[in-house]
Structure 1
Amino acid sequence: MHTLIRGSLISAVLLSGTVLGTSQAVAADSGKITIMVGGITKMIYLPAKLTEQLGYFKEEGLDVELQSQPAGVDAENELLAGAVQAVVGFYDHSIDLQSKGKEVTAITVFGQVPGEVEMVSTKAAATIKSMADVKGKTLGVTGLGSSTNFLTQYLAAKSGVTSNQYSVLPVGADNTFIVAIKQNRIDAGMTTEPTVSQLLKNGDASVLVDMRTVEGTVKALGGLYPASSLYVQRPWLNTHKEEAAKLARAFVKTLKFINTHSAAEIADKMPKDYYGNNKPMYVQALQNSLPMFSPDGKMPAGGPETVLQVLSGFNPNVKGKHIDLAKTYTNEFVSQGK
């Protein structure tokens, strides 16, 4: 059912893309670049806002507007429709889309690992000790067809639980995820920092699977899983290489900043509404997240193969199909950075 829903969405978007192709070209040629982020306050996507805050887009002579959608799949649809020039979302979408005949390429990798955590509600913790225990349970994801949905299905399948043995409920991220846990609408769910730290602090949930670190990700998925990234449609990339190089340089500067500054120093650069009245918790959440960020924006060796293996395990769009991984990412532009 979820696959059918997502397929229908993509079909509609692909059709609309043929109509909006002209407006996409006009938007790109106006000099302004609109980047859609799959949840801009999620820590996994922090480099997007931080780059703006540090002034690195302007340093590169770019006019960038950041927009936000609650889930990566929604951001992906905006890209396919030609409404935006780039997306900050999970790299795995580029593999999934290639299986549908659309060429999307990641030009900067932010996260070596997903940064995602499967949280189990305190009330369900007695019966859910591992992903093998989710039969008959309701699991929260940011959106149907999102990367949290991909990873949830994989982790369950790896534990011997098929997708028809549990329910998946799209609950978004941040406060909507927390509310879903508190109201017992979900027994467990996949989310990111700072939501993880907030749930732990309030005692509403505990960690079931932790993919914020290299060690935890290798244990859960069998290898590095490059996740948060900046990706664009290849036709745009082929005609806007100068802009792509500038974007990559700006983000590489940010990744270097992240890797040479403390969590507190990074938090000081973020807008106040990102941490509200609890800056210490935000700093702690950021500290927990620092290991996931790439030091140089390059695709980690073996990463694409791990992602393909995960998707091939359950995704009918990808399973059994030839995927040209070389077309799903490029290090060409991050390698130009100083």
Structure 2
Amino acid sequence: MHKSARYAALAASGLLALSSLTACADDASTTASAGSAAKGDGKGTKVKIMVGGLDKVIYLPAMLTQRLGYFDAEGLDVELLSEPAGVQAETALVSGQVQGAVGFYDHTLDLQVKGKAVESVVQFSHAPGEVEIVSNKAADEIKSPKDFKGKKLGVTGLGSSTNFLTEYLAVKNGVRTSDITPVAVGAGPTFISALERGSIDAGMTTDPTVATILAKNAGRVLIDMRTPEGSDAALGGPYPSSSLYMQTDWVNSHKDTVQKLANAFVKTLKWMSTHSAAEIADKMPADYSQGDKTLYAAAIQSTLPMFTKDGVMPANGPETVEKVLKAFNPNIKNADVDLSKTYTTEFVKKATG
């Protein structure tokens, strides 16, 4: 799908830079590889969940659920692991290293056309929560995605959801995917460094990275998709993104465990909808604020509109995602996707009842 020769050096530099990401990401890679299968249903049931960046605000419900004690309350022993990009969480799930992944819903469509049955069981969001940031150096040249031609555009990883959305914004605005260069730069310090050094002209990232860039005056917002309104303007509809997705066979054979996970996550989403960003920030690990709790709370505040209150897939959301992917992804463009098999509301509806 990508021109590997052209990207090899860029991807390598991005992967080297990923070593400076949070320690939890480094720990996750080793822990996940040594993982064991989940135990049977019942009290203390062990479940491993890989998150595409535990400290990203878009995936905040994962750690928050653990911090609130909701997994324990359901009799679950949940181990949260972290990788810098959602595509790596997808890989861990499909390979059987983990039982669940917290990442973008769009991976379920991509995997279906590759013959893998995966479904979203709790939908955290109805907007991407992503922001396209342009560097100060390139701000005069990039006024909209129409100006992406010939530019180096940062994404968390090649094949990631940020990569998908970047290519869609290009195609939607008359720029061919072959005319842009996606560069894998991760998130956090590695993304910011790439922006400041000029390794990328612009890039797609999330909070708290966005808040840090703006505080440092290292770049400017080009497209803001942290709200349903922003998603609609950029993508033409609600874009369900952050979710808990799992292999369909595992869901069907562990319904009791999946229901407990849904109960815990829905309780968290409801809690988030009735508490302030500062209160949410107070519940998170201290190192997530990187020494500036006020800035971290502001990052959460900016992203809160993307979250659902009940974990239910938004109406017309899957159709928007399919439209976006079909615009540039040749595998999906020429395939019949059965959207009904990419998500289920069976568990969240019982949890909200």
Same fold (TM over 0.5): yes
| Cα pair 2:177 2:328 within 8 Å, conserved | no
In the alignment, the residues of structure 1 paired with residue 4 and residue 334 of structure 2 have an alpha-carbon distance, to the nearest angstrom, of: 18
| Cα pair 2:108 2:342 within 8 Å, conserved | yes
Which SS does the other structure have where 2:90 is aligned? helix
What per-residue deviation string (whole Å, max 9, x for no partner) do you get for residues 9-56 of structure 1? xxxxxxxxxxxxxx9984344931000000111000000000000000
Query: Who is 1:60 aligned against?
Result: 74
The alpha-carbon deviation at position 3 of structure 1 amounts to: 7.6
Residue identity in the other structure for 1:2: H
Residue identity in the other structure for 2:116: K
- Distance 1:134-1:150 versus aligned 2 partners, 3 A rule: same
Residue identity in the other structure for 2:210: V
Query: Who is 1:112 aligned against?
Result: 126
Decide which moves more: 57-66 or 28-37.
28-37
In the alignment, the residues of structure 2 paired with residue 237 and residue 269 of structure 1 have an alpha-carbon distance, to the nearest angstrom, of: 30
Query: Who is 2:8 aligned against?
Result: none
Query: Who is 1:321 aligned against?
Result: 335
Which SS does the other structure have where 1:313 is aligned? helix
1:260-299 correspondence runs (5 A): 260-299=274-313
1:241 and 2:252 correspond: no
Q: Specify which of 32, 38, 41 is matched with residue 27 of structure 1.
A: 38
| Cα pair 1:24 1:85 within 8 Å, conserved | no
1:2 and 2:2 correspond: yes
In the alignment, the residues of structure 2 paired with residue 126 and residue 322 of structure 1 have an alpha-carbon distance, to the nearest angstrom, of: 41
In the alignment, the residues of structure 2 paired with residue 143 and residue 314 of structure 1 have an alpha-carbon distance, to the nearest angstrom, of: 17
1:308 and 2:322 correspond: yes
Residue identity in the other structure for 1:27: A
In the alignment, the residues of structure 2 paired with residue 320 and residue 29 of structure 1 have an alpha-carbon distance, to the nearest angstrom, of: 40
1:77 and 2:91 correspond: yes
In the alignment, the residues of structure 2 paired with residue 256 and residue 4 of structure 1 have an alpha-carbon distance, to the nearest angstrom, of: 43
Which SS does the other structure have where 1:35 is aligned? strand
What per-residue deviation string (whole Å, max 9, x for no partner) do you get for residues 126-181 of structure 1? 11000101111100000000000000000000110001112110000111101111
Q: Give unmatched runs, 5+ long, in structure 1.
A: 6-22
| Cα pair 1:24 1:82 within 8 Å, conserved | no
- Distance 1:26-1:46 versus aligned 2 partners, 3 A rule: closer
Q: Specify which of 180, 184, 191 is matched with residue 205 of structure 2.
A: 191
The alpha-carbon deviation at position 316 of structure 1 amounts to: 1.1
In the alignment, the residues of structure 2 paired with residue 236 and residue 79 of structure 1 have an alpha-carbon distance, to the nearest angstrom, of: 11
In the alignment, the residues of structure 2 paired with residue 209 and residue 247 of structure 1 have an alpha-carbon distance, to the nearest angstrom, of: 33
Decide which moves more: 311-320 or 58-67.
311-320
Which SS does the other structure have where 2:50 is aligned? strand
| Cα pair 2:47 2:78 within 8 Å, conserved | yes
Query: Who is 1:130 aligned against?
Result: 144
| Cα pair 2:37 2:98 within 8 Å, conserved | no
Which SS does the other structure have where 1:41 is aligned? coil
Residue identity in the other structure for 2:279: E
Query: Who is 1:223 aligned against?
Result: 237
Query: Who is 2:161 aligned against?
Result: 147
Query: Who is 1:256 aligned against?
Result: 270
- Distance 1:25-1:199 versus aligned 2 partners, 3 A rule: closer
1:171-186 correspondence runs (5 A): 171-186=185-200
Identity %: 59
Query: Who is 1:332 aligned against?
Result: 346
Query: Who is 1:162 aligned against?
Result: 176
| TM-score normalised to structure 2 length | 0.89
Q: How many residues align?
A: 321
CA root-mean-square deviation: 1.5
The alpha-carbon deviation at position 4 of structure 1 amounts to: 7.4
The alpha-carbon deviation at position 2 of structure 1 amounts to: 2.1
Query: Who is 1:9 aligned against?
Result: none
- Distance 1:167-1:235 versus aligned 2 partners, 3 A rule: same
What per-residue deviation string (whole Å, max 9, x for no partner) do you get for residues 178-236 of structure 1? 11111110000000001101101111010111100111110000000000000000110
| Cα pair 1:70 1:173 within 8 Å, conserved | yes
In the alignment, the residues of structure 1 paired with residue 328 and residue 3 of structure 2 have an alpha-carbon distance, to the nearest angstrom, of: 11
- Distance 1:49-1:3 versus aligned 2 partners, 3 A rule: farther
- Distance 1:69-1:296 versus aligned 2 partners, 3 A rule: same
Q: Give unmatched runs, 5+ long, in structure 2.
A: 6-33
